[in-house]
């Protein structure tokens, strides 16, 4: 049974089958031909996997993020950050990182962040003197922050799979997300200083306040949503619903950048995205149930315990596994498949489940822009028409920076857990 669960998904993945079909086909064969369990168990487990209150937030946040990306909010966010940066070294590059961080708090999607801000910033970056490789690498990697900074779809799915508080996961993701943004911003500053790049205009208070006035409605989204969650006024799911209403009002009646037909089109696209996510949730639920029934997680815990490895070595091995998986699977699929397998191992060595959720999220966020199959890479290649090899080379220093951040997050749990002490 275990051999089938290990080999068949790999074979189907190599053959190019979609992830939900891989999980469902493997589960169906095991249930029908190996375990002798009635086929109705597949339906029961699939529906049980999506029958979770936290998952209601997924379509809401997807819709709100898509609407804000198309409704002019991304442009106003860029203008606000650029006005604040002034003429400091690397101001446009630092603006790119800052705008990706803020937009990530609106969309929760790495590819959406690359798509929305790439249209606005790629050409200005090239004109300002940033090289092709650097510009591609900066935009592609900065989009990964959206997976970590709350609200994050990946964290919602981890919370559902691990039965942990989504609100606490959101709080725990703040410092790691800002840490990665700060490290990328620092690298941009050094790069600009070495190449003598000094773009932008001197800071002007009137320009800054004008940009803030125009962008206050866009900047208000994360304040309202995250503020409501952390203040205990609303749950993450309720906050997601509020985000949808807020996004419709702002994009339709305040900025007037989108009409009702456009909103309908966004809703249709969000419906398809939601279906893609939830069908993976349902299929992964069956696969996770089979993992538990097979005793594989318990056996893995016992095997690792028998090796008598130090906790730091186990964490290093898990990081390597997650980085490898992240190169081939999207974060949502990887979280749903691996959480039931790895969480018992982490609990056995004393790792807090909230901390492990952040470790897993950061690992898989890096996978979004790691060759060969990072989703952000394909979005960037399609938009900027840059040869894929050039994007790969440009990403190398940014991957290295993110790996340093990953080690800090992994071995300094306070980075993830410090704020959670005040969120109870």
DSSP 129: T
**pLDDT at residue 423, rounded to an integer:** 67
Check if the beta carbon of residue 125 is closer than 8 Å to that of residue 318: no
Q: Tell me the C-alpha distance between 111 and 263, whole Å.
A: 20
Whether 424 has a pLDDT exceeding 60, the answer reads: no
List C-alpha distances in Å: 170 to 34, 85, 156, 326, 422.
40, 27, 9, 21, 13
In this predicted model, which residue has the larger pLDDT, 48 or 158? 158
**pLDDT at residue 199, rounded to an integer:** 67
**Percentage above 70 pLDDT, the chain:** 95
**Percentage above 90 pLDDT, the chain:** 20
DSSP 66-94: HHHHHTTHHHHHHHHHHHHHTTSTTHHHH
Check if the beta carbon of residue 184 is closer than 8 Å to that of residue 403: no
CA atoms within 13 A on the CB side of 185: 19
Q: Which of 271, 273, 245, 252 is nearest to 73 (CA)?
A: 252
Mean pLDDT of 171-183: 93
Three-state DSSP at 48 gives helix
List C-alpha distances in Å: 266 to 65, 260, 279, 406.
10, 10, 20, 34
Three-state DSSP at 336 gives helix
pLDDT band at residue 200 under the 50/70/90 scheme: low
Check if the beta carbon of residue 406 is closer than 8 Å to that of residue 366: yes
Q: Which of 364, 357, 416 is nearest to 158 (CA)?
A: 357
Mean pLDDT of 339-355: 91
Q: Select, from the ranges 2-6, 290-294, 318-322, the one with the highest average predicted confidence (pLDDT).
A: 318-322
Check if the beta carbon of residue 369 is closer than 8 Å to that of residue 143: yes
What tokens were used for 347? 């609990």
Mean pLDDT score of the chain: 83
């Amino acid at each position: 049974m275990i051999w089938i669960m290990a080999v068949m998904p790999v074979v189907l993945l190599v053959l190019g089958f979609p992830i939900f079909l891989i999980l469902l086909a493997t589960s169906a064969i095991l249930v029908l031909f190996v375990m002798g369990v009635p086929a109705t168990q597949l339906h029961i487990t699939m529906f049980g996997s999506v029958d979770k209150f936290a998952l209601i937030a997924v379509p809401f946040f997807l819709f709100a993020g898509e609407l804000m990306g198309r409704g002019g909010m991304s442009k106003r966010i860029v203008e606000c950050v650029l006005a604040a940066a002034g003429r400091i070294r690397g101001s446009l590059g630092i603006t790119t990182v800052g705008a990706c961080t803020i937009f990530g708090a609106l969309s929760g999607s790495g590819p959406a962040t690359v798509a929305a801000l790439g249209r606005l910033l790629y050409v200005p970056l090239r004109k300002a003197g940033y090289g092709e490789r650097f510009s591609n690498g900066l935009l592609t990697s900065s989009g990964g922050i959206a997976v970590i900074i709350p609200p994050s779809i990946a964290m919602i799915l981890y919370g559902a799979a691990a039965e942990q508080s989504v609100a606490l996961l959101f709080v725990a993701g703040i410092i790691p997300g800002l840490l990665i943004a700060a490290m990328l911003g620092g690298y941009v500053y050094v790069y600009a200083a070495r190449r003598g790049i000094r773009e932008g205009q001197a800071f002007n208070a009137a320009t800054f306040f004008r940009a803030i006035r125009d962008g206050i409605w866009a900047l208000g989204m994360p304040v309202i949503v995250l503020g409501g969650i952390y203040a205990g006024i609303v749950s993450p799911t309720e906050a997601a619903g509020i985000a949808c209403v807020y996004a419709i009002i702002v994009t339709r009646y305040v900025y007037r950048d989108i009409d009702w037909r456009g909103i309908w089109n966004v809703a249709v696209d969000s419906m398809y995205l939601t279906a893609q996510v939830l069908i993976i949730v349902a299929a992964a639920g069956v696969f996770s149930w089979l993992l538990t029934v097979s005793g594989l997680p318990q056996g893995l815990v016992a095997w690792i315990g028998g090796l008598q490895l130090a906790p730091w070595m186990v964490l290093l091995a898990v990081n390597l596994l997650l980085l490898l998986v992240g190169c081939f699977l999207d974060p949502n699929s990887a979280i749903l498949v691996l959480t039931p397998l790895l969480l018992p191992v982490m609990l056995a060595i004393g790792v807090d489940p909230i901390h492990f959720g952040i470790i897993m999220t950061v690992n898989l966020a890096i996978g979004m822009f790691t060759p060969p199959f990072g989703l952000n890479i394909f979005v960037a290649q399609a938009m900027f028409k840059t040869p894929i090899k050039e994007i790969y080379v440009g990403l190398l220093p940014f991957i290295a920076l993110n790996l340093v951040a990953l080690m800090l997050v992994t071995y300094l749990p306070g980075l993830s857990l410090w704020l959670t002490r005040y969120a109870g």
